[in-house]
Structure 1
Amino acid sequence: MARTILLDQLTGRARSRQELADKLASKDVPAEIATRLLDRFTEVGLIDDAAFARTWVEQRQAGKGLAKRALQQELRRKGVDDDTVREALEEVDPGAEEEAARALVRRKLRSLARFDDTTATRRLVGMLSRKGYGAGVAYRVVREELADSGRGDGGGDDEACIESLEVD
């Protein structure tokens, strides 16, 4: 029964060892049986937290535009150890991360046409912040994309804007 639970869980997508352990525990599988099965699945390569973390980072960064900080939090919630998380995040290209932020801003900018630049900036920087981008990077990308779209002056007081956003 426990083996079937693990195989069913691994059918849809890869999962971390901790996710699988939690699933077995929720199905009242005794801990010693769960540990033996998890060890065996790891030994034969069906459970691989490093591969899981790399795949998770690639998919979530490309699909959702998440920054390293958000990806790190997600992987930790999934029970992946810090060293494995760090290794997976080292593969994220900073240029690709910034381009993902720019794509998010461009997509959202269309729906903010009716708002003034200050409101649009606040909302866009907030969106990027929720996706794990730091305030400095988020504000710079938003300012540049607003200027490229013909809005905003491309200048402004970065520090004042960042401070006002941190208060919200």
Structure 2
Amino acid sequence: MSTFGRGRRRGARSEEPPATGDAAQEADADPEQVARAIALRMLTAAPRSRAQLAEAMARRDVPEAVAERVLDRFADVGLVDDAEYAGMVVRTRHAERGLSRRALGTELRRRGIDDETAAVALEQVDDEDEEQAARALVRKKLRTTTGLDPQVRTRRTYAALARKGYPPALVGRVLREELAAEGIDAEEDGDLLGGG
């Protein structure tokens, strides 16, 4: 039998520990190597917060002290930076999805960003930015509901912007202005803006 046909026997150990997968969790796998492999795999796919990486390591039973040591090293070399990550999340989610500061803050907390770091990142979006985004979303929603009853359009617009975290007062003001631009007087139309 040739060496080509032999292959590795089932259950035989390879020379290097596996980077990921169930085999990485063998009893004799080095927890630090497992932690590094988890972090590198996740960071290769997309930027992550320190808390997200720590959570993934905990799910794989990496000891907390080992995870902290690996994450500290990754932070030292700039691979993990919660401030940079939070800023990127705020910029992209606001620009691409039109999320309000409130919704962005919620998303940052969900991703494990502390309040102080989140507050600094959220400074990128000021009142004017938020109003411009709300106005763009209102215009888009009104375009897609043209021909429907004004009350239906109003309800749908309020609901769409509420899901993105915009305060009702801002939505009401922008909606009134955009309806007026279409020749619809929300004030004369009775209960049109009275709670959506």
Which TM-score applies when normalising by structure 1? 0.88
2:65 and 2:135 mapped to 1: Cα distance? 49
Shift of 1:12: 2.4
1:110 maps onto 2:110 in alignment: no
1:161 maps onto 2:193 in alignment: yes
Equivalent residue number for residue 176 of structure 2: 143
Q: Which has the higher contact order (CA 8 A, sep 6+)?
A: 1
1:66 maps onto 2:117 in alignment: no
1:71 and 1:85 mapped to 2: Cα distance? 9
Amino acid at match of 1:112: T
Contact 2:186-2:193 within 8 A present in 1 as well: no
Equivalent residue number for residue 84 of structure 1: 117
1:118 and 1:160 mapped to 2: Cα distance? 5
1:7 maps onto 2:40 in alignment: yes
Contact 1:53-1:75 within 8 A present in 2 as well: yes
1:2 and 1:155 mapped to 2: Cα distance? 60
1:93 and 1:117 mapped to 2: Cα distance? 30
Which TM-score applies when normalising by structure 2? 0.76
Shift of 1:96: 1.9
Helix, strand or coil: the match of 2:193? Answer: helix
Give 4+ residue runs of structure 1 displaced > 2 Å after superposition: 154-162
Task: Note the alpha carbon deviations across 1:23-61, whole angstroms, 9 max, x for none.
Answer: 111122122211110111112211111111111000000
Q: Indicate the larger mover: 40-49 or 153-162.
A: 153-162
Shift of 1:97: 1.6
Q: 1:158 to 1:104 in 2, by over 3 A?
A: farther
Identity across aligned pairs (percent)?
48
Helix, strand or coil: the match of 1:161? Answer: coil
Query: Structure 2 unaligned runs (5+)?
Result: 1-33
2:165 and 2:42 mapped to 1: Cα distance? 28
Contact 1:121-1:143 within 8 A present in 2 as well: no
Q: 1:40 to 1:157 in 2, by over 3 A?
A: farther
Helix, strand or coil: the match of 1:45? Answer: coil
